[in-house]
Amino acid sequence: MAEQRMGFFTDTTVCIGCKACEVACKEWNDVPDDGFVFRATSYDNTGALGASTWRHVAFVEQDGRWLMSSDVCKHCTNAACLDVCPTGALFRTEFDTVVVQADVCNGCGYCVPACPYGVIDRREDDGRAWKCTLCYDRLRGGMEPACAKACPTKSIQFGPLDELRERAAKRVERLHAEGTTQARLYGANPDDGVGGTGAFFLLLDEPETYGLPPDPVVTTRDLPAMWRWAGGAALALAAGVAACFAGRKP
Amino acid sequence: MAECHPVGYQWVMEARARGAKVFHVDPRFSRTSATVDRYLAIRAGTDIVLLGALINYVLSNGLDFREYVLAYTNAATLVNGDFRDTEDLDGLFSGFDEETGRYDPSTWAYEGDVPEEEEPVEGGGHHAEAAGSDSYGARGAGASASPPSDPTLTDPRCVYQILKRHYSRYTPEMVEELCGIPPERFHELAEAVTANSGRERTTAWVYSVGWTQHSVGVQYIRAAAILQLLLGNMGRPGGGIMALRGHASIQGSTDIPTLFNLLPGYIAMPHAHRHDGLDHYLEQEGADTGWWGNRRAYVVSLLKAWWGDAATEDNDYRFDYLPRLTGDHGHYATVMGQIDGTVKGYFVVGENPAVGSANGKAQRLGLANLDWLVVRDLMLVETATFWKDAPEIETGELRTGEIGTEVFFLPAASHVEKEGTFTNTQRLLQWREKALDPPDDCRSDLWFYYHLGKRIRQRLGDDEIDRPVTELTWDYPEIGAQRDPDAAAVLREINGTAADGRPLASLRELKPDGSTSCGCWIYCGVYADGVNMAARRTPHTEQGPVALEWGWAWPANRRILYNRASADPQGRPWSERKKYVYWDGTKWTGPDVPDFEEDKAPDYRPQEGARAQDALAGTDPFIMQSDGRGWLFVPSGLADGPLPTHYEPHESPVRNALYGQQANPARRTIDRPENPYNPALSPRFPYVYTTSRLTEHHTTGAMSRPLPYLAELQPEAFCEVSREMAEEIGLENGDWATIVTARAAIELRVLVTGRVRPLRLNGKVVHQIVMPYHWGYSSGGVVTGDVVNDLPSIVLDPNVYIQESKAGTCDVLPGRRPRGRALLDLIERYRDG
């Protein structure tokens, strides 16, 4: 494990919606196109994050305002996808990021419903699960992820998570001082339902406006308790059965 | 700018982060509008009303930077007493000839100047005829160095008073009525612009083809120039008017021009009937005072670069070898020549006129009537495949078997497969290295023209008529297996050499006696001391903020033009905050290269009869002008008037509320069956359209539609309409619409959006439709679509012959367009009413 956890801070207030992040991601990671569909939803024609879209720019048209925001895998502190993966294809890297190993994934798909953000997805043609790797290969080579590199306005910032959180807090402070009181961070709180995210965002509206869940919870949060219940129930059942047998007269 | 120049736009975002206030004026709410302080929706084709009202606001409130204006502009200059303004003639200036549709500009001259005698050439108005205005304006033909003036600015004939009167009717109310911008929004803009100009602060304007592609395009830019001069925002850091170019090195292709009326360095192309020889040409083409007074040195050095030892004083340095103009040889005149059969062959290099030029059908009919066509591109663009898949094939207007055009498609090298320079909008030359050889038969344009030239020369004999080609200097070192000519050798030739072969260090070394050669005088110095200055890449961390060691800017590596104006007349900085180039007692100095003779003191006054720069005083910063002043009023050089005036677009649903004159009287129309016009104010064409670009695609899509990663981001041709317009017509979001003009009917997907809003003009509601033009019928695209540029007509600005594609009228119908003959029937019904 590296000394520092690495992550993304996406400051949507300076996003200009150029989609360079989407293209750079696909170029570097060799992600196939996601179809050619005119969706008539503002300037968004890739729709959402998925197996073949690892960065996705949302365009939200409001009265007199056009919000743009580049979404990405959150690289959760408590990652449910990783918890449920039976093959070990999903693993936590030395940068504290969450990555799928395509050569290990068996396409079981357990991770897909496990993600509270709907990020990870299976490709129809090969059945395996795909998502943002936070450019694991580039990080190992000492480079920043392709999307952050391509972003012309520093809307996508990459770095040690501690530093990013500090920078983001200052940015929010400044925006508030300038009168942009709607500015808020999303995913920067280590006490939230996923233990905070490795990729967090500065938003200008409610998370739902951008298509983000307002209060994400790691779907495996209750798993230990459920297993305890299930284990308890099994024990009780076994005990009952045993009692039945025990109560029988020889 | 965010939409089309996202990388450059990062600096606007940076400026905003540092407290700059950014306004965006545009008919469409784009990604730029989303990220600025204030967006102003404007009706396409009315910017001169807005700019004129800002000028009026400055003048009527006494907000001009008076000391700058008095010293550095022609505000005090007296104009010919016979001049009549649009105020006197209901929208016309004096000198208009109804019959020819041209102006005689002689009454626009400065007081006491003898206007140049007009020679009747093919209908008169030679600079309108041959688009000479480019060079005229720059050179200030017919304006003397020290015209009579009134420094009190009270004489009714002085430029200041003429300006004040001319713009008096450009009021906030007029802005609301014509542009659709409410008065409170106008005032916010006016207050911000004026408060942010003066000694301590400067304001910059940035524009693109939304300003230029109009029948009054040049005057849009002129209007901004007037405003910037009045506010003292020229020649100073943070000021200026920045033209955003359409793609890489468009600036370079005007400096070393692909334009028919120019030689390298904005030197006028000689005219077949106006110019007898070199002396006569030099006498006619430009003023003797100001920097253009040195033009003999530039022209002779150019001729020496091209014809080397064969160019001598005795033979006029082979001036007679230069091609000659006989009239308008611009793009649209060429296309009409193709249709008429007078233009037989056509080179199309890195362009796609079948999709990118106005009135696409006329373009394709021209292509179909050629003997031969050469297309050089990265992709099989529509211009190369029109013979099999043009819309006219589907309608039956063209049949593949009957098209006689022989098409040669030659694949081109991409920018990573060749070396050379890009010149960007701020005149910065940046050298590109070649990363790898182009594949297969792909070759650079440099390779193509060089080897084509070699082959032609091999086939030519000793005939006198062939000598302009056989005597050309055509000997560049060839590199590698593909025998690419050495681009650095070409840049060295452009830079120029002294008689001993030494690379010249500065354009001041250029001589009129044939002892120097130089391929483009403004680029002289790019290879000073034999060093490729364009290849310099000193990081910004290792040099000052002006970054003189990153690339090389023409001329002389100056980063801000006319920077003498950044100091006051005495040579002192206007303010500490805006300190830039200043007089230190013995010389001009500062972080930039001074755009002035280094040792010309502020108190220098020219002697009687002085020539070139010697005729300009130490207080005249605009050294290319004959009087050294910034021209608020243009005494000669423009074909459509000395002052920008609002005229409605040729096709407009609105009457010109300012004058009886509806449209630019000097605009160039092409009245032919291939180019029918929508009548102005026609109820058949009630909607205003404008065309646009998207971040995801590049121009006609030839470099983006074949790429899945870009094509998926904007997969289909669409139009943006307001909710109100959608409701009025019955358009459904995501469904289809058919857009009709007298030229064409095309189908587009519908994007209903609150970003487009109906404009209220004096009670009348005007709807605008916005159409990105990136789609076509092939280009190897994984996505295709109808050609938006089939809709606009060919109607041209009379100065530079740019088409009016940013403002026109149309009708919009729900659903897809008819196919085949039925499509033509639909268009005909509209055309005939």
At B617, list the tokens: 């005083």
β-bridge partners, B750: B719
Interatomic CA distance for residues B800 and B133, integer angstroms: 7
Among B134, B138, B131, smallest CA distance to B626 is for: B138
Evaluate whether residue B585 is within a structural domain.
no
B300 burial class (0-12, 13-18, 19+ CB within 10 angstroms)? buried
Contact (Cβ atoms closer than 8 angstroms) between residue B583 and residue B571: yes
The Cα angle at residue B163 between residues B162 and B169, in degrees rounded to 5: 105
Question: Token pair 């956890």 is at which residue?
Answer: A5
Interatomic CA distance for residues B156 and B172, integer angstroms: 25
pLDDT digits (tens, 9 = 90+) for A113-136: 999 999 999 999 999 999 999 999
Q: What is the pLDDT of residue A244?
A: 80
Sign (positive/negative) of CA torsion B780, B785, B788, B790? positive
pLDDT in 10s for each residue of chain A, 250 residues: 556 999 999 999 999 999 999 999 999 999 999 999 999 999 999 999 999 999 999 999 998 899 999 999 999 999 999 999 999 999 999 999 999 999 999 999 999 999 999 999 999 999 999 999 999 999 999 999 999 999 999 999 999 999 999 999 999 999 999 999 999 999 999 999 999 999 999 999 999 999 999 999 998 888 788 888 888 888 888 888 887 877 665 5
Q: What is the pLDDT of residue B109?
A: 93
User: Is residue B246 over pLDDT 60?
Assistant: yes
By C-alpha distance, the chain A residue nearest B41 is A64
Q: How far is B705 from chain A (nearest CA, A)?
A: 11
Which chain A residues touch B if contact means CB-CB below 8 Å?
A: 14, 16-20, 22-23, 26-27, 32-40, 42-43, 45-46, 61, 63, 65-68, 152-154
Mean pLDDT of chain B: 94
pLDDT digits (tens, 9 = 90+) for B12-64: 999 999 999 999 999 999 999 999 999 999 999 999 999 999 999 999 999 99
DSSP state of B414: -
Contacts of B327 (CB under 8 A, 6+ apart): B122, B129, B130, B333
Q: What is the pLDDT of residue B130?
A: 40
> A interface mutation test: which of B35, B39, B750 has the most A CBs within 10 A?
B35
Q: What is the pLDDT of residue A224?
A: 80
Q: At residue A212, what is the residue type? A: L
What whole-number percentage of chain B has pLDDT above 70? 97
**Span of B77-81, B270-274, B321-325, B534-538 with lowest mean pLDDT:** B270-274
For B48, the enclosing helix (H) or strand (E) is helix B47-60
Q: What is the pLDDT of residue A64?
A: 85
**Rg, C-alpha atoms of chain A:** 21
> Do B751 and A42 make contact, defined as CB atoms within 8 angstroms?
yes
User: Is residue B134 over pLDDT 50?
Assistant: no
Q: What is the pLDDT of residue A220?
A: 83
Task: Closest CB to B10: pick one of A38, A67, A153.
Answer: A153
Contacts of B151 (CB under 8 A, 6+ apart): B70, B76
Q: What is the pLDDT of residue A248?
A: 63
Evaluate whether residue B7 is within a structural domain.
no
Evaluate whether residue B478 is within a structural domain.
no
Among A65, A30, A181, A51, smallest CA distance to A124 is for: A51
Sign (positive/negative) of CA torsion B140, B143, B144, B150? negative
In chain B, the number of structural domains is 1
Q: What is the pLDDT of residue B136?
A: 43
Q: What is the pLDDT of residue A238?
A: 85
Q: What is the pTM of this model?
A: 0.94
> Do B749 and A154 make contact, defined as CB atoms within 8 angstroms?
no
At B653, list the tokens: 């649903």
For B372, the enclosing helix (H) or strand (E) is strand B372-377
At B668, list the tokens: 């160039």
Count the Cβ atoms, other than its own, within 10 Å of residue B672: 12
pLDDT digits (tens, 9 = 90+) for B251-301: 999 999 989 999 999 999 999 988 889 999 998 888 889 999 999 999 999
Interatomic CA distance for residues B82 and B94, integer angstroms: 8
Phi, psi of A130 (to 5 degrees): -135, 150
Contacts of B32 (CB under 8 A, 6+ apart): A16, B1, B2, B3, B9, B24, B26
> Do A36 and B7 make contact, defined as CB atoms within 8 angstroms?
no
User: Is residue B612 over pLDDT 80?
Assistant: yes
User: Is residue B118 over pLDDT 50?
Assistant: no
Contacts of A250 (CB under 8 A, 6+ apart): none
> Do B2 and A27 make contact, defined as CB atoms within 8 angstroms?
no
Count the Cβ atoms, other than its own, within 10 Å of residue B90: 10
Evaluate whether residue B701 is within a structural domain.
yes
Give the mean model confidence (pLDDT) for residues B156-177.
Answer: 98
A163 burial class (0-12, 13-18, 19+ CB within 10 angstroms)? middle
Contact (Cβ atoms closer than 8 angstroms) between residue B766 and residue B756: no
By C-alpha distance, the chain B residue nearest A52 is B709
Interatomic CA distance for residues B295 and B308, integer angstroms: 19
Cis peptide before B555 (omega within 30 of 0): yes
Q: What is the pLDDT of residue B119?
A: 44
pLDDT digits (tens, 9 = 90+) for B182-231: 999 999 999 999 999 999 999 999 999 999 999 999 999 999 999 999 99
Which chain B residues touch A if contact means CB-CB below 8 Å?
A: 2, 6-7, 9-10, 13, 17, 29, 31-35, 694-696, 708-716, 718, 733-734, 749-755, 782-783
Question: For chain A, first and last CA: distance in Å?
Answer: 60
> Do B755 and A39 make contact, defined as CB atoms within 8 angstroms?
no
Q: How far is A36 from chain B (nearest CA, A)?
A: 5
Contact (Cβ atoms closer than 8 angstroms) between residue B162 and residue B79: yes
> Do A40 and B749 make contact, defined as CB atoms within 8 angstroms?
yes
Interatomic CA distance for residues B22 and A170, integer angstroms: 23
Q: How far is B580 from chain A (nearest CA, A)?
A: 28
Evaluate whether residue B824 is within a structural domain.
yes
Evaluate whether residue B741 is within a structural domain.
yes
Give the mean model confidence (pLDDT) for residues B574-579.
Answer: 98
Evaluate whether residue B757 is within a structural domain.
yes
Contacts of A188 (CB under 8 A, 6+ apart): A165, A168, A169, A196, A197, A200
Contact (Cβ atoms closer than 8 angstroms) between residue B827 and residue B356: no
Task: Closest CB to B753: pick one of A32, A37, A61.
Answer: A61
Q: How far is A152 from chain B (nearest CA, A)?
A: 5
Q: What is the pLDDT of residue B135?
A: 42
Size of interface A-B (CB pairs under 8 A): 91
Residue A93 C-alpha from the chain's centroid? 15
For B346, the enclosing helix (H) or strand (E) is strand B345-349
User: DSSP letter string over B278-310?
Assistant: HHHHHHHSS-SBSGGGGHHHHHHHHHHHHHGGG
DSSP E strand stretches across B208-258 = 241-243
Contact (Cβ atoms closer than 8 angstroms) between residue B447 and residue B485: yes
Task: Closest CB to B710: pick one of A23, A37, A152.
Answer: A23
For B190, the enclosing helix (H) or strand (E) is helix B183-195
Contact (Cβ atoms closer than 8 angstroms) between residue B178 and residue B46: yes
Among B347, B382, B288, smallest CA distance to B626 is for: B288
Give the mean model confidence (pLDDT) for residues B608-613.
Answer: 93
Q: What is the pLDDT of residue B177?
A: 95
Evaluate whether residue B720 is within a structural domain.
yes
Among B143, B127, B144, smallest CA distance to B135 is for: B127
**Span of B87-96, B726-735, B776-785 with lowest mean pLDDT:** B776-785
Interatomic CA distance for residues A149 and B654, integer angstroms: 48
Among B310, B330, B207, smallest CA distance to B257 is for: B330
By C-alpha distance, the chain A residue nearest B707 is A33
Q: What is the pLDDT of residue B781?
A: 82
The Cα angle at residue B831 between residues B825 and B833, in degrees rounded to 5: 100
Among B781, B639, B493, smallest CA distance to B132 is for: B639
At B232, list the tokens: 């003292």
> B interface mutation test: which of A33, A46, A53, A205 has the most B CBs within 10 A?
A33
Which residue segment(s) compose the domain that B751 sits in?
668-832
User: DSSP letter string over chain A?
Assistant: --SS-EEEEEEGGG-----HHHHHHHHHHTPPP-------BTTB-S-S-BTTBSEEEEEEEETTEEEEEEEE---BSS-HHHHH-SSS-EEE-TTS-EEE-TTT-----THHHH-TTS--EE-TTT--EE----SHHHHHTT---HHHHH-TTS-EEEEEHHHHHHHHHHHHHHHHHTT-TT-EEES--TTSTTS-BSEEEEESS-GGGGT--SS---TTTTHHHHHHHHHHHHHHHHHHHHHHHHHS--
pLDDT digits (tens, 9 = 90+) for B290-325: 999 999 999 999 999 999 999 999 999 999 999 999
Interatomic CA distance for residues A53 and A56, integer angstroms: 6
pLDDT digits (tens, 9 = 90+) for B765-810: 999 999 999 999 997 889 999 999 999 999 999 999 999 999 999 9
Angle between helices B47-60 and B217-230 (to 10 degrees): 20
Whichever domain contains B760, its CATH number is 2.40.40.20
Count the Cβ atoms, other than its own, within 10 Å of residue B262: 19
Task: Closest CB to A66: pick one of B712, B755, B782.
Answer: B755
> Do B31 and A20 make contact, defined as CB atoms within 8 angstroms?
no
Of the two residues B144 and B755, the one the predictor is more confident about is B755
**Rg, C-alpha atoms of chain B:** 27
Count the Cβ atoms, other than its own, within 10 Å of residue A92: 14
